[in-house]
Structure 1
Amino acid sequence: NKILAKIRAGIALRSSRSLSVLGRATIVNALILSRLWHLAWVMSFPTWFLTKVRGTITGFLCPFKPAASWKVITTLRHQGGLGVIDPRIQHQVFLLKYLRNAASDSISWGKDVVLDLILWKTKA
């Protein structure tokens, strides 16, 4: 998958730097996952893809064994975690925003796109 390859390439580019775990978490949120968020506005990702993204992120953040749990990785920093945004949850948030926009009374380009997508999916 091209998207996953780009995420891995971005991680490989930054893996050689001597960064703390919190520094790596900042890189993941600001540079790596931001590419995914742009795509998540216009397309849906299958579960297997999000699972691979999660594994790739965990490998970058924790190049040591045992790796931190996903719960610790995605827990907010002020609560003792690394503060990485969970791609699965963020993807669900984007889908809910689509549905909210589609259900609103205001006319928008996004609403038309979502309604067309829903109609297309239900015909398949």
Structure 2
Amino acid sequence: MTTPLPHAHQDCRAVSSILAMVGDKWSVLVVMTLRQQPRRFNELKRAIDGISQQMLTRTLKGLERDGLVTRTVHPTVPPQVEYALTELGHSLADPVKQLGEWVFSHLPAIYANRDRYDQAAG
């Protein structure tokens, strides 16, 4: 039997908090939308179906805090704010895209398994 490393619990908690952010549907959609090009707030809101202004603001602040997104205020009247992925954010976009591709390619099998499970359970 192996003895757990003393720092393993802390490592799991750190990874878990990042995975929760990365796995959040709004964070994923913001990252994938910004993958093509920087966008202003209202452009993002229009591009991400169903996201509220409050949720978009919260998501962008979290991504900015983690260093995945930059916020640039342009000196116009009214001020225009543009959001862009950082190098770190771009490095996240590729694995997120690959995960999405995996999901789409396996949807039929997943749906079939769900149906089989639900029929057996119910």
Question: What's the TM-score, normalizing by structure 2?
Answer: 0.29
Q: Would you tell me which structure has more strand in proportion to its own residues?
A: 2
Q: Would you tell me which structure has more helix in proportion to its own residues?
A: 1
**Structure with max Cα Rg:** 2
Question: What's the TM-score, normalizing by structure 1?
Answer: 0.29
